[in-house]
Structure 1
Amino acid sequence: MKFDLHTHHFRCGHADGSIRDYIEAGINAGLGVIGISDHTPYFGSPSEQAFPKIAMAKSELVHYVEEVLSLQKEYEGKIDVLLGIESDYFPEHAELYRQTLSAYPFDYIIGSVHSVKGVSIFNKGRWKGLDRREKAAAKAEYYRLISESARTGMFQILGHIDAMKGNYPQFSEISTPAEIDECLRVIGECGVAIEINTSGCTKLCGGWYPSDDILARALHYGVEVTFGSDAHLPSRVADQREAVVARLKEIGFTHWVYYKRRGKITVPLQ
């Protein structure tokens, strides 16, 4: 069973195409399962749409869910359309997000850390003027937040767990092995999957999230893996999936997983 669990569309304000476009792209790519997982609204503000170029408006959430469920029925027998969503992890708003999202029948929720101490992880300027110790502290805080997100029980999947390297390739050279190992240990204990996310190839780092080294350590800690292209264009659905399968086999993985109605489905790597 071929799947891609991480796709976006026009509602988030920084992706192109409709949900139908991504489903059709999944069929053309030979997928049996396509997960639609656009960004949640930002619930931490009273504004209807606090970040129009980052996340959908609050009033769009119900329409998003209804559209995915409608297309799920329409495409039954052609491709399995799953209702997912990508949720930011903000510790101060975690319960609000939990309560709000629990009202909808999501097959899975991807939890992603997109900011550390109020600054986007993709902001190139956040590293300017920092010394080695300060950079290590920022990286350690990033992995602390990811560990914390795993412990909440809110998420089936953790998104792009080394995406802080996206626009700062030197991130991978900042030495914090203890923090990464502790993060992977926690993820393994909590039974949350991590995604192999190929969108890193569209960033300055030019590689997948996470690195091969992190994947090898994830295998050691018994962490489950899944696949997500993080497509913001229909043409990127299932991007590099076969190459990911080959790499995972080389590292030692034998299977990966996806989620339907919050239940884990194990699929051999093929």
Structure 2
Amino acid sequence: MSVVHDYHVHSNYSDGTPMPRMLAAAEDAGLRAVGFADHCNVSERDHLRTSKREYGINLDRTYPFRREGIESLRDRYDLRVFDAVEMDYDPRDESEIAAFLDEADFDYAVGSVHRVEGTNVQRSSPFADLSERERQAFVDDYYERLSDLVESELFAIVAHVDLPERTPELRGYTTPDHHAMLADALASSRTVPELNAGRVRRDYGQFHPAPDLWAALRERGVEFVAGSDSHDPDEIPARKRELDEYFAEREADPVVLFE
């Protein structure tokens, strides 16, 4: 079964491309449904509020305007278009996240851990001068937080579940114990992980999750949705092909939600 639903693309309401161009590319690629899961953070901590303003990622305020845009576009493309969100998760913000999701009433929410104690997992510079022990402790904290995300059941989907592997300074610190902890949490949760193609054709060159974590999850019967994590129209068809091949080679089918 080929990938027909892509649950994770971005628009210019966060760090992607205007929705009409993304939808045209998705339609041409043969998708039947696409979800705009733009980045969103509802934390009131000063450094995060400042970052949101600096980078213009303010979906917590702009989602009604994006929703109007999605409604106006739905009849113009032969696609089901989901009005979704990718939320930054921190256990300190659970009540604020829950209240926002209840108020906004998105079609679904994707949960992500991009930061641990304010440090971005995807940047090399914070880890360059750390010892191996300090790097290991950071990765331990990442998986603890990701398991908390899953157990919170605030989200339908959890994104890029081994994000530290993308960062050269943190690569290789993910352990079988991390795999087991996350797999156990997902096996007993309604939250579904994605097979994320966001770096398969770029510097990292792999899917999230990496093969060993994929295997640990599959051993427990965990299934996956497909997420291209596309920010540009050209990424959609290329990443769809990669996702199709990955699922086919492993004789697995992507989960289709909300039908």
Q: Give the alignment's TM-score, normalised by structure 1.
A: 0.86
1:86–1:251 Cα change, 3 Å: same
Alignment identity in percent? 22
Structure 1 residues 235-244 or 212-221, which shifts more?
235-244
2:104 partner SS: coil
Alpha-carbon distance in structure 1 between the residues aligned to 2:121 and 2:43: 19
1:69–1:94 Cα change, 3 Å: farther
1:155 match = 155
* Partners of 1:121 and 1:164 within 8 A in 2: yes
**Where do 1:76-115 residues align within 5 Å?**
78-115=78-115
2:193 match = 194
Q: 1:33-83: per-residue Cα shift (whole Å, max 9, x none)?
A: 1111111244425859734426225431211222223323x247x111111
* Partners of 2:89 and 2:149 within 8 A in 1: yes
* Partners of 1:139 and 1:176 within 8 A in 2: no
2:205 match = 206
1:133 match = 133
- Counting matched residue pairs gives 255
1:5 match = 7
1:175–1:31 Cα change, 3 Å: closer
1:268 match = none
1:221 match = 220
Off by >6 Å, runs of 4+ in structure 1: none
**Where do 1:45-60 residues align within 5 Å?**
45=45, 50-53=52-55, 55-56=57-58, 58-60=60-62
1:230 match = 229
* Partners of 2:151 and 2:185 within 8 A in 1: yes
Alpha-carbon distance in structure 1 between the residues aligned to 2:181 and 2:90: 20
2:257 to 256, 259, 263: 259
Alpha-carbon distance in structure 2 between the residues aligned to 1:106 and 1:57: 12
Letter in 2 for 1:84: A
How many angstroms does 1:200 deviate by? 1.5
Letter in 1 for 2:73: L
Alpha-carbon distance in structure 2 between the residues aligned to 1:120 and 1:49: 12
Superposed CA RMSD:
2.2
**Where do 1:34-53 residues align within 5 Å?**
34-45=34-45, 50-53=52-55
2:63 partner SS: helix
Gaps of 5+ in 1: 266-270
* Partners of 2:195 and 2:207 within 8 A in 1: yes
1:171 match = 170
Gaps of 5+ in 2: none
1:182–1:41 Cα change, 3 Å: closer
Alpha-carbon distance in structure 2 between the residues aligned to 1:138 and 1:239: 33
Letter in 2 for 1:257: V
How many angstroms does 1:213 deviate by? 1.2
